[in-house]
Amino acid sequence: MTSTMTDQLAGRLTEFGHRLDVRVYFEDTDFSGVVYHARYLHFLERGRTDYLRLHGIGHRELMEGAFGEPMAFAVRRMEIEFLRPARIDDVLTVETRTALLGGARVVLDQRILNGEEVLIEAKVKVAVISPEGKPRRMPPLVAERLQPGGAGGE
């Protein structure tokens, strides 16, 4: 797969953070054709993962120690407000941005939109951990790339 195609799959960095378009498939819905609430977690995860990826921070590279010692990100807390439903065949946009960056954590603001209409708002607290699950400080290069308020990264 070419890097251009991979970049398209990963969404795009914007002046505020990241945008990823996702289509709602039959498998994402309940019996009524409305997106099942737990599926939004999948969409949010994809947005966070591609946000990191486009900043040059891959999960595999983190675990291999590319930024110092081996580490990973783990979701510690998530607040989600379900405002409106999405339906089968909708094309949704997942927005992700850094709200707060600390020594061993990052807080991300995420939204899922259908056009201009906000469907989901989420605040996600993510911790940096060792492979054994112990807290770790965020490497300076990772922190630099995830600074709030801009696309940063590469």
Catalytic residues: 30
d(CA 114, CA 104): 33
Q: Is the Cβ–Cβ distance between 135 and 104 less than 8 Å?
A: yes
Token pair 């405002």 is found at 83
Which of 76, 121, 73 is closest to 94 using CA atoms?
121
Find the DSSP H helices in 31-88.
39-54, 59-63
Q: Is the Cβ–Cβ distance between 152 and 92 less than 8 Å?
A: no
Q: Is the Cβ–Cβ distance between 147 and 140 less than 8 Å?
A: no
Eight-class DSSP state of 146: T
